[in-house]
């Protein structure tokens, strides 16, 4: 598993906040489904859960300034980072989702675009799970 740099997420947040506050914009954080469902107690899980906490703090702290902060909890999305899985692992992981497949990067991007759009103008402090139904238990 990759190391997750929560301090880096906080630094990027601090750097972006002046502009986002000025425009009344939105921030979208990227987390992962283990932050919701757990995964063998790994540091990755803990770090991704911390990203959700950071997002909620930003939503609460800067909401009066018109800042919206939300997050995606991504499941298995087919990217270069997932190429390392063998075909067997890839197929097995696809079966974990109710839709029986891996998500595509464009599907995650569409969820981000929705959070940033006027359609989500009254949505803040929320986590949208984009995982094909893998953790809907």
Nearest-angstrom CA–CA distance, 109 and 128: 12
Nearest-angstrom CA–CA distance, 99 and 53: 28
What are the CA-CA distances from residue 97 to residues 25, 43, 51, 74, 134 (Å)? 33, 23, 23, 12, 4
* Per-residue pLDDT at 99: 97
What's the chain's Rg over C-alpha atoms? Answer: 16
Structure tokens at 71: 């997050």
Instruction: Split the chain (137 residues) into runs of 10 and give each run's mean pLDDT.
Output: 67 95 96 90 88 97 97 94 78 93 97 98 98 88
pTM over 0.95: no
Backbone phi and psi for residue 48, each to the nearest 5 degrees, phi listed first: -70, -35
* Per-residue pLDDT at 82: 80
* Per-residue pLDDT at 5: 64
CB atoms within 10 A of CB 104: 12
Domains in the chain, please, with CATH? Answer: 6-130 (3.40.50.720)
Task: Report the catalytic residues.
Answer: 44
């Amino acid at each position: 598993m990759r190391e997750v740099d929560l301090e880096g997420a906080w630094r990027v947040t601090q750097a972006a906040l002046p502009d986002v506050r000025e425009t009344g914009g939105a921030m979208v954080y990227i987390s992962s489904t283990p932050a919701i469902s757990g995964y063998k107690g790994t540091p990755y899980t803990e770090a991704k859960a911390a990203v959700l906490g950071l997002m909620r703090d930003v939503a609460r702290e800067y909401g009066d300034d018109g800042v919206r902060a939300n997050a995606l909890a991504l499941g298995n999305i087919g990217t270069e980072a997932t190429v390392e899985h063998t075909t067997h692992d890839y197929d097995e992981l696809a079966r974990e989702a109710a839709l029986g497949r891996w998500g595509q990067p464009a599907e995650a991007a569409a969820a981000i675009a929705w959070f940033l759009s006027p359609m989500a103008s009254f949505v803040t402090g929320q986590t949208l799970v984009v995982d094909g139904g893998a953790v809907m238990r």
